[in-house]
Structure 1
Amino acid sequence: MVLPVPKKRRRISAFFKILIALTLACGALVAGGIYVMRSIKPLDLAEPPPEDGCEVVTEEDTDSLEVEQAANAATISGVAFARDLPEHAVVISYATVWQESKFYNIEHGDRDSLGLFQQRPSMEWGTPDQIIDPVYSSDKFYEALIEIDGYADMPVYEAAQAVQRSADGFAYDQHEARSRTMADAFTGVEGPAVSCWFPAEDAAPTDVEGAAEEMRRVFGVGPDELASAERQTGDLGWAMAQWAVAHARDYGLSSVTYQDRRWTLSSTQQGWGDAETPAGDGGLVLE
């Protein structure tokens, strides 16, 4: 005869079964956690920066660009100086280029579109060779922009769309905040806000005169004319200094000195420092 188990003993037995199940489950979780922790590599806080790149630092934000992107941004801003246009025009152009080409001077696009602004030879923007020149294409964009009545008071995306006549004009709006940060930097209002770095062996042969000549083509003035030049856009001196930094790889420049600040070529994100030998008031020295 099998005697029935008292209810109290059945409850205790059930309790121990649950306790054992929980213990096994917790053990499995702990073991799994230890395995995951051992499998994940620890974060390397000392990871070196990319071999080349540029950094834009303003009071509002910090942004990273590739050297090619920074060089094109500096040229687009510089052409606005040559035309004596306000910073708002630079913001509009930047928002446009972010949408159209992300600041890469590409030789392809929708149908026959080319270059930074994806302008079309068939729409009378110029020849392919002209459009692929960042100075020419920037100038043509600004030429069309200033024909838009009241563009200076328009929202950025509306002004961009009025020039580009894109399928989705509102797409330019997503780039406004980033474009404003970049415009503050490349127009010089934030001082030494742009710094670039790259391996010295990647640089072209040093050509200071070539860099100065191209600056005249972009800005309408060269480094030797800076002190007497006046423009309504930002700070011309800092804009030219940062153009030189962004193009240092193209012209083999190892240092750029403006007034009492100096950028020196480095393979790290060193940035600008104090100049041992200041360039003086309005002075810009390329080496």
Structure 2
Amino acid sequence: MRFSRGVITIAVIVVVLAVAVSVGLYHLLKRAPVVVREAYCVVDTPVGVRELDPEQARISATIAAVAARRKLPERAVVIAYATALQESKLRNVDYGDRDSVGVFQQRESQGWGTKKQIMDPVYATNRFFAALVKVKNYRKLPLAEAAQAVQRSAGGYAYAPHEEEAKILAAAFTGKVPRALHCWYPQTRTPAPAPRTREARKQLARALGSTAITTEKRGWLVASWWVAHAEMYGLTRVGYGGATWSNDYETEGWEADGKPGKPGARRVELS
């Protein structure tokens, strides 16, 4: 079969154009900015779902651990979360009204401690709870009244709207609801450093005291603390109670690992 010169010319033009378009698209895509996903955490419980950033998750885990060390009821944790949500949005900020700083916006001039001390979430949380337990019948008081008795802020009414959100966080971070916390953070292409678990265990012990797991609920509190601090300490896997959290963007939560979960399991596995 013979083709006319015109047909051959058109075919050559089409091929050249196709190659040109392909090369152009290649270079355009090559220059396009790479979309970098940001680290995130999410709490999923029967009473609701709440999205957090990693700092908020770490602060939440710390508050729950300090409460467990002091053997405080869940109500105390809820009050603390609602207070921190209003005061700092659950972040350890180094600014505020006058000399207010930290998670609970405590003031050096009012005897809460030095700025350096207040900026330590474990210290600040301990000071908050020490004041809260002195409030008569704080467990039965409306949340805003209990929080205001500690904070003595200009707008004590503002704590109440955070109560439902605080209950969601308390259910997850106290270990009441297993597998409730999932976090993800981007990893570099280079191999991640070995998990700094020794340093992390010291920080966990500062908040929780003994890190021994004596009940299943305490085990899930500890497991949630590790997941919340995974990015900080280079962890990619946490296992407990027959389930495993992995730093996997495609995974929405904990997955069964094929190992039978034992009530009151004594160990959280890390890597």
Question: Could you say which residue in structure 2 is the equivalent of 1:237?
Answer: 219
Moved over 6 A (4+): none
Give yes or no for contact 2:37–2:186 (8 Å, CA) kept in 1: no
Question: Could you say which residue in structure 2 is the equivalent of 1:212?
Answer: 201
Residues 268, 138 of structure 1: alpha-carbon distance in 2 compared, 3 angstrom cutoff: farther
Residues 205, 134 of structure 1: alpha-carbon distance in 2 compared, 3 angstrom cutoff: farther
Residues 269, 164 of structure 1: alpha-carbon distance in 2 compared, 3 angstrom cutoff: farther
- The number of equivalent residue pairs is 233
1:268 Cα deviation after fit: 3.9
Indicate the SS of the match to 2:139: helix
Cα distance between partner residues in 2 of 1:150 and 1:226: 30
Question: Could you say which residue in structure 1 is the equivalent of 2:134?
Answer: 147
Residue from 120, 132, 137 that aligns with 1:133 = 120
Comparing 76-85 with 273-282, greater Cα deviation is found at 273-282
Question: Could you say which residue in structure 2 is the equivalent of 1:112?
Answer: 99
Aligned AA (1:198): Y
TM-score by length of 1: 0.77
Aligned AA (1:218): A
Bigger Rg, which one: 1
Aligned-residue CA RMSD in angstroms? 2.0
Q: Deviations over 1:224-264 (max 9, x none)?
A: x213xx6xxx9211011001000001111111111211111
Cα distance between partner residues in 2 of 1:164 and 1:50: 37
Residue from 154, 160, 180 that aligns with 1:193 = 180
Q: Does 1:246 align with 2:228?
A: yes
Give yes or no for contact 1:87–1:183 (8 Å, CA) kept in 2: yes
Listed as ranges, the gaps of 5+ residues in structure 2 are 1-34
1:279 Cα deviation after fit: 7.7
Listed as ranges, the gaps of 5+ residues in structure 1 are 1-47
Aligned AA (1:213): K
1:212 Cα deviation after fit: 1.6
Residues 156, 50 of structure 1: alpha-carbon distance in 2 compared, 3 angstrom cutoff: farther
Q: Does 1:258 align with 2:244?
A: no
Give yes or no for contact 1:52–1:267 (8 Å, CA) kept in 2: no
Give yes or no for contact 1:156–1:173 (8 Å, CA) kept in 2: yes
Cα distance between partner residues in 2 of 1:177 and 1:72: 18
Identity %: 43
Aligned AA (2:183): C
Indicate the SS of the match to 2:100: coil
1:217 Cα deviation after fit: 1.1
Cα distance between partner residues in 1 of 2:219 and 2:133: 24
TM-score by length of 2: 0.81
